[in-house]
A and B are shown apart, each in its own frame.
Chain A
Amino acid sequence: SQKIEQNSEALNIQEGKTATLTCNYTNYSPAYLQWYRQDPGRGPVFLLLIRENEKEKRKERLKVTFDTTLKQSLFHITASQPADSATYLCALEGGTGNQFYFGTGTSLTVIP
């Protein structure tokens, strides 16, 4: 089965800096990969989807890269704000194109 690991359970950064979160997987390369944000007591909220033939995807202050050789995705938040504090989850398509599986998650805290 796919093993999906996200770097460090918790990440603290200063406001205004760029936060970089890592998602590594071990087995097959998924056709696409997604990033979600989860706030306490809430369900995950979709942020970005990147497909295997895309190297980079951007949305406002967010940027995702997908390196199928390294089996890694990087998620960047530029000009971070305290409101960006949350848990961020990567999710990989499961091989059949239907279901997807979540990584371990990284808790981000942006310090004012």
Chain B
Amino acid sequence: SAVISQKPSRDICQRGTSLTIQCQVDSQVTMMFWYRQQPGQSLTLIATANQGSEATYESGFVIDKFPISRPNLTFSTLTVSNMSPEDSSIYLCSVAHVANTEAFFGQGTRLTVV
């Protein structure tokens, strides 16, 4: 298993600003992912965080808007840049020890942009 700590748990931000979300895992993991879950919706994969290299983004998500860092095997950050109300969502960090296995999720960060 893996215990994931996400910070902050929630925030209210002004449009045009940026917020960095942190994801800390209690053990080294191979895979780390960032998801977005809009109200009443399912999870949408934003990107795979790669240790020591640029993240791999899904269609519709770009690095300038969602820069991601992963300096080691237990930590990653997601920044939501130049926020607009459309960015209001829950952002979730997910990890897996190896590919093709179960994933573990953090509690999520509830972001409201006003």
Contact = CB atoms under 8 A, between A and B. Distances in A.
B26 to A, nearest CB: 15
Interface string B91-114: 010100001111111111000000
A41 B92 CA distance: 11
B103 A46 contact: yes
B108 to A, nearest CB: 5
Given A1-B59, A98-B99, A46 B42 contact: no
Interface string A52-76: 0000000000000000000000000
B48 interface: yes
Contacts of A32: 100
B62 interface: no
B43 A89 contact: yes
Interface in A17-53: 31-32, 34, 41-46, 49
B109 to A, nearest CB: 11
A97 interface: yes
Contact of A43 (B59, B100, B101, B108): B108
B31 to A, nearest CB: 6
Give the interface SS of chain B, mostly helix, strand, loop or mixed.
Answer: strand
A100 B100 CA distance: 9
A42 B100 contact: no
B75 interface: no
B9 to A, nearest CB: 10
B66 interface: no
A99 B42 contact: no
Contacts of A45: 105
B100 A31 contact: yes
